Structure 1
Amino acid sequence: MKTGFNEGCNRFCKNHSVMEDLELCEKYGFDYIDIQSECLERDLAEGKYTVDDLAAWFADPNHKLKMLSYNALVFFNMKQTQEEKDAVMARLDRIIGICNKLQCKMIVVVPSMDLPVHATIDEIREDAVAVLRDMVKKAEPHGIRLSLEFCGAPGMSINRFEDAYAIVQEVDSSMVGITLDQYHFHAMASSFDNLEKADGKKIFVWHLNGMENMPCGAAYNTDEKRLWPGLPGDCLDHKRYADTLKKIGFEGGVCTMEVFRPEYYALSNEENIRTAAEYTKTHVEKYWN
């Protein structure tokens, strides 16, 4: 099992830089990085480097770190006007261009939140299937896969594993799968019974984290309640996640740390990445190898 680092872990650390993350992730032994869109766009706007500079880094044979995913194209579904729908596809075109330069073959897509209409689950599924099929037409010629990330919050339009999986099944494309984030899975009480019946090949990305033992669906149960996995107070059953992924045939091959905790943002970039690497490696050695 390879290890990955998601920039959610350190995106608000002082003087954060994607370019520095590449160096530090390689230094501390990560195999992959998920580059977060907000980090990339912030750095580009500040003129810290260009996409071509990042591309040159990845193209250098002396560097072993690879980009696992562009994380993410956010709020892709349930758009109410043609202008909004066109804007999503225009964003996808731009992201595909970036991914081609960075040798990245995965785009995480995140559902919309706080919908202006009272859509049913069936209506949301129908819309998401149609949009993802259109997105595949753009991404597939470039060999880029789309990974739908359900988000475990009441206001998200796709917030449980079983709903996301039903969408992916209906799209029925080898280019579309699911991002399984342990926090999101637990936060809205997704069903292990459904996960255990799923096709592991449909799970493209595995996000590792722990979390405080908060009530499912509580307004205060936010991403800030995430923890390094295995810390005191972590309520997640890590063995069950790992055993289930093995059982259903998960082939993603990467365990990627993703936490969003204010205390961790107080660390330096280097201390944050070093700590994330230690916890990720410990987790893989304990539950996977």
Structure 2
Amino acid sequence: MKIGFNEGCNRFCDNHSVLRDLELCQEYGFDYIDIQSECLDRDLENGKVTLEQLGEWFKENHLSMLSYNALKPFNMRQTEEEKQEVMSQLDEIIRRCLILDCKMIVVVPNENISVHATRKEIREDAVTVLNEMVKKVEPYGIKLSIEFCGSPGMTINRFDDAYAIVQEVDSPLVGVTLDQYHFHSMASDWSTLEKADGKKIFVWHVNDTEDIPCGAPYNTDEKRLWPGDSQGCLDHQRFADTLKKIGFEGDCCTVEVFRPEYYELTQEENVRTAAKATSSHVEQYWK
């Protein structure tokens, strides 16, 4: 099992730099990186780096980009202008992915929408949008991975709904991002995961979390912990055993946390700590 680093872990560390993340991730043993769009946009706007420089770095080193994280929000846009904005955003991300040799785009659902949409309506909208998106990524073999987000305001906030959407789209290019925190925080159904086709899970985010009631307004990303933290409550053994059983083929887990105290570390301390925690996690649960 290879390991990956998501820049959500350190995006607010002092003087954060995407290029420095690449160097540190390679130095401390990561195989992959999920580049966060906020980090990349910030560095491009500030002139810290160009896409071409990052692309050349990847060509010259063994660290690879697992996913572009993320296009958001991809669904439940209400006007034609808003819908076209999603497709324009996708066009730009595809352009970037081709430069960075990235074959995966994570797509994140809308939240706190003004219309009182039913789950059925949300699913139908997502299927329609994803079918259009597939037409754009198919010529390049780029995959789309839906990241359901375990927050009450999210339109797709449980694994069950995300997986149903993926099944209906029925494309080898569309799958699910399984984030352990998100799965737990809105009490996704284990039985659905246990019956799922593991090949449809494209990205696996490992982390832990404080034992906060599911759906509580204060159960936010800030409660996440490094995997293996003694304060954590997630059933790591069950996640690992289930993924093995259903045929998960990703061959990689990516650490993703958004804890404010971790942002107080230096960028190097953050990456080093993340690498140690993720390696230990794999050694313990993925044998």
TM-score (norm 2): 1.00
User: Counterpart in 2 of 1:255?
Assistant: 253
2:229 corresponds, among 228, 231, 250, to: 231
User: Counterpart in 2 of 1:37?
Assistant: 37
1:48 aligns with 2:48: yes
Report deviation, 1:71: 0.2
1:124 corresponds, among 116, 122, 125, to: 122
The aligned runs of 1:80-229 (5 Å cut-off) are: 80-229=78-227
Partner amino acid, structure 2, of 1:45: E
Deviations 1:55-87 (A, max 9, x none): 110111xx1100000000011101100000000
User: Counterpart in 2 of 1:282?
Assistant: 280
User: Counterpart in 2 of 1:244?
Assistant: 242
Deviations 1:15-59 (A, max 9, x none): 000000000000001000000000000110101011011011011
Partner amino acid, structure 1, of 2:259: R
Cα distance in 2 for partners of 1:231, 1:67 equals 27
User: Counterpart in 2 of 1:10?
Assistant: 10
Report deviation, 1:233: 1.5
Partner amino acid, structure 2, of 1:125: R
Cα distance in 1 for partners of 2:85, 2:10 equals 29
Report deviation, 1:282: 0.3
Cα distance in 1 for partners of 2:49, 2:65 equals 17
Q: Secondary structure at the match of 1:80?
A: coil
Deviations 1:202-234 (A, max 9, x none): 000000000000000000000000001121220
Cα distance in 2 for partners of 1:86, 1:96 equals 15
TM-score (norm 1): 0.99
Cα distance in 2 for partners of 1:263, 1:114 equals 27
User: Counterpart in 1 of 2:76?
Assistant: 78
List alignment gaps of at least 5 residues for structure 2. none
List alignment gaps of at least 5 residues for structure 1. none
Partner amino acid, structure 2, of 1:153: S
Partner amino acid, structure 2, of 1:179: T
Report deviation, 1:140: 1.0
- Equivalent pairs, count: 287
Q: Name the % identity.
A: 71
Q: What is the Cα-based RMSD across aligned positions, in Å?
A: 0.4
Cα distance in 1 for partners of 2:120, 2:55 equals 41
Cα distance in 2 for partners of 1:48, 1:228 equals 29
Cα distance in 1 for partners of 2:68, 2:62 equals 18
Cα distance in 2 for partners of 1:50, 1:97 equals 13
Cα distance in 2 for partners of 1:44, 1:32 equals 21
Report deviation, 1:239: 0.4
Q: Secondary structure at the match of 1:107?
A: strand
Deviations 1:76-128 (A, max 9, x none): 10110000000000000000000000000000000000011000000000000
Q: Secondary structure at the match of 2:265?
A: coil
Cα distance in 2 for partners of 1:230, 1:3 equals 15
Cα distance in 1 for partners of 2:16, 2:251 equals 28
Partner amino acid, structure 1, of 2:158: R
